[in-house]
Structure 1
Amino acid sequence: MDASFPFHSRWLAAGFAWQDTIPEGSVALLLLLNGALEFGWMDGRRQQVGKSQVLWLNCGAGLPLTVNWPNPDGFEALLLQYPAAWVRNSLAALQKEMAPDLSALLLGPHPAHPAVVRALEAEDRAWAHGFMAPTLCSAARQLLEGSRMSEFFFRKVLTEARGEELFCTRTRRLALDRVAKVREALLADLEQPPDLAELARLCGCNPQYLSRTFAEAAGTTISLYLRRLRIERAAELLSSGRMNASEAALEVGYRSLSHFSQAFREEKGSPPSAWLRESASPSLHMTVRGKK
């Protein structure tokens, strides 16, 4: 984001320069989506932050001396930066209600190691992946991202301040967890995926409840979600050139080429052969996708 804007955000890859990335005088939230970081503090203490964790860091109270990446492959993190003065002014009235470690980190007296780690909720992961708005102009994007960053910050802090999850937040989180479990189970065997009863058993609920809550959280039914996963996988196989349409159809569980072609058209807007031609022509592909 522009340097004149009060909030900043950026995606990080392994090997980023820590001291140059996070300036003093800011509060940083680091959402670890994949991979891990290991910090070294001045007194020799080591601290590791792993996948599916959120790191709160008060840069004004000090930064780690060293940062290492135990396994840099696939590292993915979203960094959110907030002005320390904005944080202090925004949270002054909430200090007595906040979790003690978070209150000390953000408002003082600062701890020896100015970092607090929390679990990354499934809702947070979904929020991070939907955060950026690349299609907007620069000014509109800054306004939207600043607003969303503020909303995220207060949602996390107020959940901490209550000492418990709000019921609606917990319900949403559990629903998103079930969506993730269903996705993982389906991707494990697209050719012969588990049926609804087995998916419900994996999610620890009854089939009817899973169907309803999945549709509410994912915005589609499990059967249509399975179709989407199958077609996305088939599209990867086709575009790689490793398989033709018949082979890709069998690979993802379609025994009928006509059924596969119909499903592909409904998901991609074109049958497999036409989609391949469109994919080979970026400008044409963009036009067709825009009409979809």
Structure 2
Amino acid sequence: MEREGLDWAPSFHPGSLEICLNLAGDGTVAGDGSSLRLTPGTCGFYVPGEAGLRARREAGGRHQFLTVELARPFLRTRLAASAERLHPVVRALVEEGPGKVGVGGVERLNPRQLELVRALRSPPVPRAARRLWYEARALDVLVECCFAPAADELFCQRQLRLQRDRVAEAIGILKRNLAEPPSLGKLAREVGVSPCYLSRTFSREMGVSLSQFLRRLRLDRAAELLRSGEYNVTEAAFEVGYNSLSHFSAAFHETFGICPGLYPLRAKPAAKGK
């Protein structure tokens, strides 16, 4: 990157809403008397409008970010009925047209948004289904980032939202550490609560205990590895943290109704014309 940084604005598209999920590097977006600054681990949104925006990625560091771009016709089709709850910048685009520039706020990426980023970078669906899957995830990003917070949010509602965020953060940690998951105590410390509170909250939110949820995460991942054809049963078991093949095979059969050695054959689509 050049010493003075990179002009980022030419990548923007008039008539659209752009949501930047910023993982690394610093950037600024400015226009119409307002601006936002993206630092690592934040997200922000903006509408380039007809006049355009000024934007720069700062020099001297590694940049990693994901941008979700939503055209006005797409937004109008899906948001016209709920426009009053949108952030004013997004609402202006939906109701008034694409001409006006707008810069929204910046917030820290929460656990749900970080999970969305990870999913968007590695979609867990067949290629034929990706367009529909990406559209659904784009709407998830929109919901997470662009609705104005309710002014009348009650204390109990806020507590429930915080609980869900902590559960989502715990799930993200487990997914990243299937082979060597943290203990309940360490997991609780990482999300900032007591072990008893995390265990109780997790069970209430997910309907199963932490250990049951981890078991299903491991088996689902093992099934995915077996379907890929790149892992045999032993490799898949060790990859997700099972040290005993007999325990892995029993758990796999109990969950999927078939032994792991035969699972790839059942999962493989039948050849055409047969």
Fold match, TM over 0.5? yes
Letter of the aligned partner of 2:165 in structure 1? L
Q: CA deviation at 1:174?
A: 3.5
Map of 1:1-292 to 2, 5 A cutoff? 22-24=13-15, 28-32=17-21, 34-35=23-24, 38-39=27-28, 48-50=37-39, 52-60=41-49, 62-64=52-54, 71=62, 75-82=65-72, 114-124=103-113, 152=143, 156-159=147-150, 162=151, 167-184=156-173, 187-188=176-177, 190-191=179-180, 193-235=181-223, 238=226, 244-279=232-267, 281=268, 283-284=269-270
67 and 106 in structure 1: CA distance in 2 versus 1, 3 angstrom threshold: farther
Q: CA deviation at 1:261?
A: 1.3
163 and 36 in structure 1: CA distance in 2 versus 1, 3 angstrom threshold: farther
SS in 1 for 2:54: coil
Q: CA deviation at 1:272?
A: 1.5
270 and 76 in structure 1: CA distance in 2 versus 1, 3 angstrom threshold: farther
Q: Tell me if structure 1 keeps the 8 A contact 2:83–2:91.
A: no
29 and 223 in structure 1: CA distance in 2 versus 1, 3 angstrom threshold: same
Q: Distance in 2 between matches of 1:127 and 1:250?
A: 27
- CA deviations over 1:217-258 (Å, ceiling 9, x no partner): 345321122113322443465456665323443453334323
SS in 1 for 2:147: helix
Q: TM-score, normalised by structure 1?
A: 0.55
Q: Distance in 2 between matches of 1:246 and 1:104?
A: 53
Q: CA deviation at 1:32?
A: 0.8
Runs (5+) with no aligned partner, structure 2: 1-7, 93-100, 121-127
231 and 123 in structure 1: CA distance in 2 versus 1, 3 angstrom threshold: closer
Q: Distance in 2 between matches of 1:154 and 1:244?
A: 41
Task: Calculate percent identity across the aligned residue pairs.
Answer: 27
Q: Distance in 1 between matches of 2:203 and 2:70?
A: 31
Q: CA deviation at 1:211?
A: 2.1
211 and 115 in structure 1: CA distance in 2 versus 1, 3 angstrom threshold: closer
SS in 1 for 2:250: helix
249 and 200 in structure 1: CA distance in 2 versus 1, 3 angstrom threshold: same
- CA deviations over 1:238-292 (Å, ceiling 9, x no partner): 456665323443453334323211222344453222222244x3x249xxxxxxx
Q: TM-score, normalised by structure 2?
A: 0.58
273 and 78 in structure 1: CA distance in 2 versus 1, 3 angstrom threshold: same
Q: Distance in 1 between matches of 2:83 and 2:9?
A: 26
Q: Distance in 1 between matches of 2:111 and 2:42?
A: 11
Q: CA deviation at 1:47?
A: 6.3
223 and 58 in structure 1: CA distance in 2 versus 1, 3 angstrom threshold: same
- CA deviations over 1:186-227 (Å, ceiling 9, x no partner): 743624x33334433443434343223213334532112211
Q: CA deviation at 1:182?
A: 4.9
Q: Tell me if structure 2 keeps the 8 A contact 1:32–1:51.
A: no
Runs (5+) with no aligned partner, structure 1: 1-16, 286-292
